[in-house]
A and B are shown apart, each in its own frame.
Chain A
Amino acid sequence: MLDTLLSLGHGLDVALAPTNLLFIFMGVCLGQIIGALPGIGPSAGMALLLPITFGIPPATAIMMLAGIMYGGMYGGTLTSVLVNVPGEAASVMTAVDGNQLARQGRAGAALSVSAIGSFLAGIGAVLALAFVAPALAEFALRFSSPEYFLLAALGITATASIGAGSPLKALLMAVLGLVIALVGTDPILGSARLTFGTSELLDGIDFLPVAIGLFGIAEVLNSLERSFDTNPMRTRLKDMWLSAKDWADCRMAILRGGLVGFFVGLMPGAGPTVAAILAYVTEKRFSRHPERFGSGALDGVAASESANNSAAHGALIPMLALGIPGSASTAVLLAALVMQGIRPGPALMTEQPDLVWGLVASMFIGNVFLLVLNLPLAPLFAALLRIPYEYLAPGILVISLIGAFATSLSLFSVGLTLFFGMIGYLMIKADLPRPPLVLAVVLAQLMESSLRQSLMLSEGSLMIFFERPLSALLFLLVLASLALPAINAFMRVRRERHHHNSSQFTFTAK
Chain B
Amino acid sequence: MKGRVLVVDDDTALAEMLGIVLRGEGFEPSFVSDGDKALAAFRETKPDLVLLDLMLPGRDGIEVCRLIRAESGVPIVMLTAKSDTVDVVVGLESGADDYIVKPFKPKELVARIRARLRRSEEPAPEQLAIGDLVIDVAGHSVKRDGQSIALTPLEFDLLVALARKPWQVFTREVLLEQVWGYRHAADTRLVNVHVQRLRSKVEKDPERPEIVVTVRGVGYKAGPS
Co-complex (A, B)? no
**Partner-A contacts on B (CB < 8 A):** none
**Partner-B contacts on A (CB < 8 A):** none
